[in-house]
Amino acid sequence: MNVVKEALPYAFDFSPTRTALIIIDMQNDFCSPGGFGEKLGNDITLTRAIIPVIQQLLQAARDAGILVVHTREGHLPDLSDCPPAKLERSKKQGAGIGDAGPMGRILIRGETGHEIVPELTPLENEIVIDKPGKGAFYKTNLEHLLEQNNMESLLICGVTTHVCVHTTLREANDRGYRCLVLEDATAAFDPVDQLAAIHMVRQQGGIFGWTSLTLPLIEAIQQ
C-alpha cells in the first residue's frame, strides 16, 4: 500500500493497481486563449498554470501503470444533449454554447476548443470520457469502466475546482470511491472559489475525501 503522509485531513493510502487518475476538462475551451472560459471574461492564467503540474503527475501515473481517465465537457453538434436552461444561461453570458469562436463552435465535440490542451494529449490506450454535464458520471460510462477495472481510489485534478471537479468528486463520493483532490493541480478562475472548494473537500474529517499537493503524491506513487 502506498501512502501520502502529507495529505489532509490525514494520510491517504492507496493501491496503484486499484487507483485511477481522473483529469477533468483540461480543454482549450477552458485553458487556452479565445476559449469559452476567456470569452466569458475570465482570466485563464490560473487554469493554464496547473498544466505543467498535471504533466508531471500524468507521467508518474503512466510510469506506474495507473489507470488514466481524461474528461471533456461538450455537446453534440445539434445540441440535442444540451439542456435548454444551460444553453440559455450561456447565451446570457455572451458566449453561447454552439456559437462560433476562435477555435470553432464553443463546447461542441469535434471542435478545436473541445480538445484537450496539447501538453496533456491522451495516449491511445487512455480513456477519454465525453460528458454533457458538469459531473463525469452523468450520462457517461465512467462508473462501468471503473467497476470493470476494479478501482477503489481516485486521484482527481483539472478544472474548474468548484464546478466540474467538485461535481465529479461528489458523484464519486456517493458511489463509495476514496478520492484525493490535488490542490496545486486543480484551478478555478477565481482564487476565492479555489480556496473554498479545497476546504470543502476535507472539512468535517474529510467529508468528500482528502487533499494534497502533487509532489507528495508523486513520491508516494514512486514508493
Domain harbouring 104, CATH code? 3.40.50.850
- Considering 31, 82, 157, 164, which one is annotated as catalytic? 164
Residue 65 zone, left/alpha/beta (φ > 0; ψ -120 to 50; rest): left
- Considering 25, 39, 134, 157, which one is annotated as catalytic? 25
Query: Residue 178: what pLDDT?
Result: 98
Confirm whether 25 is a catalytic residue. yes
- Cell numbers for 70: 481524461
- Considering 29, 131, 134, 157, which one is annotated as catalytic? 131
Helix axes 51-64, 214-221, angle to 10 degrees: 10
Render pLDDT for 114-158 as a digit per residue (tens, 0 to 9).
999 999 999 999 999 999 999 999 999 999 999 999 999 999 999
Render pLDDT for 160-180 as a digit per residue (tens, 0 to 9).
999 999 999 999 999 999 999
Structural domain for 158, as ranges: 2-221
Query: Residue 223: what pLDDT?
Result: 87
Q: Which residues pair with 27 in a beta bridge?
A: 116
pLDDT band at 62 (very low <50, low <70, confident <90, very high): very high
Number of domains in the chain: 1
